[in-house]
Amino acid sequence: MMRDVYQLSTATIGSEIIFPGAMSVIVLGYIGGVLVDKKGSLFVLTTGVAFLSISFLVAALYIETTPWLITIIVMFVFGGLSFTKTVISTIVSSSLEQKEAGAGMSLLNFTSFLSEGIGI
């Protein structure tokens, strides 16, 4: 769709739209982990949901203006997802006993990857 609407090449879409979003996951995932330790899970979860909500609202209102706005939106969406996934992992790992932690985190990762793969 980006290619048809904005006449962007596949290389441009990958390197200038999607790649910055992927890099934001690295940076904001680290920041989310630090914030969970300092401020707590509820603060980071609220921030992640706010990132997602604001990003989708901006996308709904201004998506047709410029493709570069999509880059910023993708960065905040991926960051919000990273924040929420960090909180989920923290809560699951802290609620399990030490002997259950390995299997529990493996099951969490399996269900996360499976749901991401089928689009849930």
Tens-of-pLDDT digits for all 120 residues of the chain? 778 777 888 898 889 888 999 999 999 999 999 999 999 999 999 999 999 999 999 999 988 888 889 999 999 999 999 999 999 999 998 898 989 989 999 998 899 889 888 876
Q: Which domain holds residue 42?
A: 2-118
Query: For 10, how many CA atoms within 13 A lie in the half-sphere containing its CB?
Result: 0
The pLDDT of residue 107: 92
Rounded Cα distance, 79 and 35, in Å: 13
Find out whether 78 and 22 touch, Cβ atoms under 8 Å.
Answer: yes
The model's pTM is 0.82
Find out whether 96 and 104 touch, Cβ atoms under 8 Å.
Answer: yes
How many domains are contained in the chain?
1
